[in-house]
Chain A
Amino acid sequence: MKELDHERFFEPFIDEVDGVACVPASYADADIARITSPLGWRFPLILDEETSLSAQVASCFSAPSSSRFGPYCDNIVGMNWELPDRRRVRVGERVVKSTTGYDILRFLLATDGRFGRATEYVLRLRPACDGGGIVFFDGPQGSLESAATELMHSCYIHWLESMDWLTTGPQDARLRIGIHCPQDEWPIFLMHLDSIAKGRGLLTTVTEGNGQVFDGLPDLVLKTTPDRVISLARDMAQYPGVRSIALCAPAMVHVYLPSGTEAAAVVKKMVWPLADGLHSLGGGWKSRHVECPLFGTDEASWVKSLAKEWGVAA
């Protein structure tokens, strides 16, 4: 059987039948939308309108709309990758479903540039709808948490673009729910959310739109389980000036430090007391200001072996 003597690469494309597109990793939201919107598709996993997709992927595992669509690694199905020595390879496929060899794609997406960088991504797109909006719940934190729990355990959670717990201090919290849907379904969502709010004495504020929220790149990301994510966000907001957002379904806390903070020092101060507890749950943390350390000699030797085989410096 004739073996390939060259690398295959993805060329930029959009497939309006399959709902996949190959775009430069440097593209930001508007660049992607310019290609996808005219064909009725969208890529919803955007944290920050201005920042490149590669920077967003490097700083976070998930965006608010991961509540509905999963983390970045479930929505980037292929990429062109440049190793540190400038050799380029294709990783993954242009079709959504594949189990062909080892899953280097998902591994690399979580490596924060230690083994090179993506130059193009193949994105899984989603149908764009003409309706939706943002619904805020306000009221006592116990009632808000109860509302979040009910939504998390109902099948409505599959259809909510996002459900995020926003907090800027121990006494301050809101539940923000994003919805992206056909215009004629918007009243159904509103009625359901209204019944949940009314049953708990919560106030609702509604803004119509497309349900997308842009919170910006967090300084610190914490990964835990869905039943612990709100309390973790609350704990983080006890640090002065810190804003924290719990992405309820992906069970991520995005932490935003006040401007002028010495980010690396503060991140370490926040993370060290938490790390063991998060790790015991199989969770963890990542920050664009501080690199996670290797875990003992085993991981160091695995990384060294991988780096040697991949021809990159460990």
Chain B
Amino acid sequence: MTSTPLRDRLLRKIPNVRALVSPAQLAGYDADGLGYKRFVPDLVVIPSDAAELARVVGFLHGERVPICLRGAGTSLSGGPVAAQGGAIIHTSRLRAISKICPEGLWCEVECGVNLNQLDEALQPSGLCYPPDPSSGPVCTIGGNVASNAGGAHCFRYGVTSNYVLGVEVVMLDGTLRRFGGPAGGHGPWREDWKRFMIGSEGTLCAFTRFWLRLTPRPEKVWTFRATYPDLQSTERAIHGLVRHPAFPVAIELMDPRAVALVETSSMAVGLPQDHFLIVAEIDGPAALVDRRAESVAQVLRDAGSADVLFSDDSEMRAKLFKARKAMGGLLGQVRPDYLVQDAVIPKRALADLLGFIYAEADRAGIPVVTVMHAGDGNLHPNFLFDSRKPGDLEKVETISKRLMMRVLNVGGALSGEHGIGNDKSLYMGMVFGPTSLRMQWAVPQVFNPAHQFNPLKVFPERRFAA
């Protein structure tokens, strides 16, 4: 099948636009990183530029079909999928880095620019764009802004919203609007509307381009690795690092189950399998970080580690970080599916939450390995399961729900960097009271009142009524 009435009408309106409808083509768009939840779109459109994207949105708006924007599809929350059918607009051809302004410390990029592509382009200027989700080689800036992505190095540098100076968007009626710009203010608008757009998970508008804040690259980096026999000493190390004046850029934690997963694989690096692992980094001017390195190592030793390693050599640093980087790729060796949760907790609640995760997962017979951006309290338990096995998915969803209730009870947040998507939308009613929920709902009422953009995401009641 290469033709449908919707595609035919689209091509009559926008003759040369790339539009996919064959089942084989649509199959590549039926899921994101939450691979076990599949929704096949009716149509995938790949516009060639922002103007064409605007015309496509205008057309689809008139056709009254759901519209879902998609970058690389690496979201882990079920965001860029056609949960209510309709069309996916794939932004892969909007890949221009339009301008890098080293003097003004900003750049202008299209929404489909890939994170590593941007990093390479920035290298000669000595500047960088710090957010670094682990999908960096693949993910797009558009997806990062939509989900307010973070990454390992966000403890000091901050997340995506700290770096978005301005956004250009296509509104539902197909008009292009710009909010903010290189200076990062409101522009001519009285209110700072871009704040609603960033992290809105494609539910308000379609992004076309961004103005991003850049910052000087660090002159030097030190990486530290330490293992701990118990959670108490691990927590001491995290608490010590968090308030160290060296202000680490990254404090990463792997629990013993995650360490064991690496150590029983071909990626083993020789860590004790029953220990917690902390990997931390400090960066800055050489004169400062060289002076700080030993005192950071001492914090790790004082907390109870007997095997603190640290280095400023790039090859050695990569080795120290290897276990943390390798873990994600090993999950599929245990079970065919995984669900990574993304809660943020007060750090003093770590023992409580880890104990809860282990108890729940073990009782259900679901393997779980946990990593954490420990500086931010951003906990990522990875539940490993087989969605083809009857009952497995239900078990994981039950654990997730109970975990999220526990997270809220200790004062945490549902998501730190993945967004809500359709994975966690059911939990939003536990977060917001009646008035604050009404305030949340008011935002799509302004820009997308019928929920035609990305329905059934963020709030489960956001259903498009064609």
Chain A contact surface mostly: loop
B413 touches A93 (CB 8 A): yes
Interface residues of B in 412-466 (CB under 8 A from A): 412-420, 426-447, 458-459
CB contact between B416 and one of A83, A99, A156, A291 (< 8 Å): that residue: A99
A103 in contact with B430 given A17-B348, A192-B287, A279-B188 (CB within 8 Å): no
Minimum distance in angstroms from B55 CB to a CB of chain A: 20
Chain B residues closer than 8 Å to A289, beta-carbon distance: none
Chain A residues closer than 8 Å to B427, beta-carbon distance: 1
Chain A residues closer than 8 Å to B426, beta-carbon distance: 1
User: How far, in angstroms, from A279 to B182 measured CA to CA in the complex?
Assistant: 10
Chain A residues closer than 8 Å to B106, beta-carbon distance: 225
Q: Is A293 an interface residue (CB 8 A)?
A: yes
CB contact between A89 and one of B377, B418, B439 (< 8 Å): that residue: B439
Chain A residues closer than 8 Å to B420, beta-carbon distance: 99-101
User: How far, in angstroms, from A295 to B245 measured CA to CA in the complex?
Assistant: 44
Q: Is A84 an interface residue (CB 8 A)?
A: no
User: Can you show 11 pairs from A to B with CB atoms below 8 A apart?
Assistant: A1-B429, A17-B242, A18-B346, A18-B347, A95-B377, A97-B413, A100-B413, A102-B458, A154-B219, A155-B219, A306-B446
Interface residues of B in 192-245 (CB under 8 A from A): 192-193, 195-196, 198-200, 211, 215-219, 239, 242-245
User: How far, in angstroms, from A2 to B427 measured CA to CA in the complex?
Assistant: 9
Q: Is A87 an interface residue (CB 8 A)?
A: yes
A99 touches B101 (CB 8 A): no
Chain B residues closer than 8 Å to A87, beta-carbon distance: 435
User: How far, in angstroms, from A188 to B198 measured CA to CA in the complex?
Assistant: 39
Minimum distance in angstroms from A196 CB to a CB of chain B: 12
CB contact between B154 and one of A73, A83, A91, A97 (< 8 Å): that residue: A97
B440 touches A101 (CB 8 A): yes
Minimum distance in angstroms from A205 CB to a CB of chain B: 22
Q: Is B185 an interface residue (CB 8 A)?
A: yes
A282 in contact with B185 given A7-B436, A99-B419 (CB within 8 Å): yes
- Nearest chain A residue, comparing its CB with the CB of B239: A17
Chain B residues closer than 8 Å to A74, beta-carbon distance: 158, 162
Interface residues of B in 314-345 (CB under 8 A from A): 344-345
Q: Is A263 an interface residue (CB 8 A)?
A: no
B284 touches A155 (CB 8 A): yes
Q: Is B114 an interface residue (CB 8 A)?
A: no
Q: Is A35 an interface residue (CB 8 A)?
A: no
B291 touches A97 (CB 8 A): no
**0/1 per residue, A123-152, Cβ < 8 Å to B?**
000010100000000000000000000001
A281 touches B284 (CB 8 A): no
- Nearest chain B residue, comparing its CB with the CB of A307: B442
A227 touches B104 (CB 8 A): yes
Q: Is A262 an interface residue (CB 8 A)?
A: no
Q: A99-B415, A99-B419, A100-B428 are in contact. List 16 more A-B contacts (CB 8 A).
A: A17-B348, A18-B348, A41-B243, A90-B433, A95-B416, A99-B199, A101-B420, A102-B458, A103-B148, A110-B186, A153-B216, A158-B218, A284-B187, A293-B190, A295-B189, A309-B445
CB contact between B441 and one of A185, A283, A309 (< 8 Å): that residue: A309
A181 in contact with B245 given A98-B344, A104-B443, A107-B191 (CB within 8 Å): yes
User: How far, in angstroms, from A2 to B412 measured CA to CA in the complex?
Assistant: 18
User: How far, in angstroms, from A189 to B244 measured CA to CA in the complex?
Assistant: 18
Chain A residues closer than 8 Å to B193, beta-carbon distance: 107, 299, 302
Chain B residues closer than 8 Å to A7, beta-carbon distance: 433-436
User: How far, in angstroms, from A73 to B159 measured CA to CA in the complex?
Assistant: 13
B159 touches A97 (CB 8 A): yes
Q: Which of A61, A102, A251 has the most CB of B within 10 A?
A: A102
Chain B residues closer than 8 Å to A3, beta-carbon distance: 429-430
List the 6 shortest-distance A-B pairs measured between CB atoms, nearest first: A282-B181, A309-B442, A283-B183, A3-B429, A7-B433, A223-B185
User: How far, in angstroms, from A41 to B344 measured CA to CA in the complex?
Assistant: 21
Q: Is A8 an interface residue (CB 8 A)?
A: yes
Q: Is A208 an interface residue (CB 8 A)?
A: no
Q: Is A216 an interface residue (CB 8 A)?
A: no
Minimum distance in angstroms from B173 CB to a CB of chain A: 11
Q: Is A94 an interface residue (CB 8 A)?
A: yes
User: How far, in angstroms, from A94 to B178 measured CA to CA in the complex?
Assistant: 31
- Nearest chain A residue, comparing its CB with the CB of B283: A155
A310 touches B287 (CB 8 A): no
B433 touches A97 (CB 8 A): no
Q: Is B102 an interface residue (CB 8 A)?
A: yes
Q: Is B247 an interface residue (CB 8 A)?
A: yes
A225 touches B183 (CB 8 A): yes
Chain A residues closer than 8 Å to B244, beta-carbon distance: 127
Chain A residues closer than 8 Å to B443, beta-carbon distance: 102, 104, 306
CB contact between A223 and one of B183, B345, B435, B436 (< 8 Å): that residue: B183
B291 touches A127 (CB 8 A): no
Minimum distance in angstroms from A268 CB to a CB of chain B: 15
B440 touches A102 (CB 8 A): yes
- Nearest chain A residue, comparing its CB with the CB of B373: A97
Chain B residues closer than 8 Å to A279, beta-carbon distance: 187-188
Minimum distance in angstroms from A86 CB to a CB of chain B: 11
User: How far, in angstroms, from A223 to B218 measured CA to CA in the complex?
Assistant: 26
Chain A residues closer than 8 Å to B459, beta-carbon distance: 101
A89 touches B436 (CB 8 A): yes
Interface residues of B in 113-133 (CB under 8 A from A): 126
Chain A residues closer than 8 Å to B217, beta-carbon distance: 155
A99 touches B148 (CB 8 A): yes
Q: Is A228 an interface residue (CB 8 A)?
A: yes
Q: Is A37 an interface residue (CB 8 A)?
A: no
Q: Is A4 an interface residue (CB 8 A)?
A: yes
A156 in contact with B183 given A1-B427, A95-B377, A127-B245 (CB within 8 Å): no
Chain A residues closer than 8 Å to B413, beta-carbon distance: 93, 95, 97-98, 100
B185 touches A284 (CB 8 A): yes
CB contact between A104 and one of B346, B431, B440 (< 8 Å): that residue: B440
User: How far, in angstroms, from A114 to B438 measured CA to CA in the complex?
Assistant: 18
Q: Is A235 an interface residue (CB 8 A)?
A: no
User: How far, in angstroms, from A153 to B218 measured CA to CA in the complex?
Assistant: 11
User: How far, in angstroms, from A111 to B419 measured CA to CA in the complex?
Assistant: 25
Q: Is B378 an interface residue (CB 8 A)?
A: yes
Q: Is A226 an interface residue (CB 8 A)?
A: yes
User: How far, in angstroms, from A80 to B187 measured CA to CA in the complex?
Assistant: 28
Q: Is B166 an interface residue (CB 8 A)?
A: yes
A281 touches B183 (CB 8 A): yes
A182 in contact with B185 given A15-B348, A97-B417, A102-B199 (CB within 8 Å): no
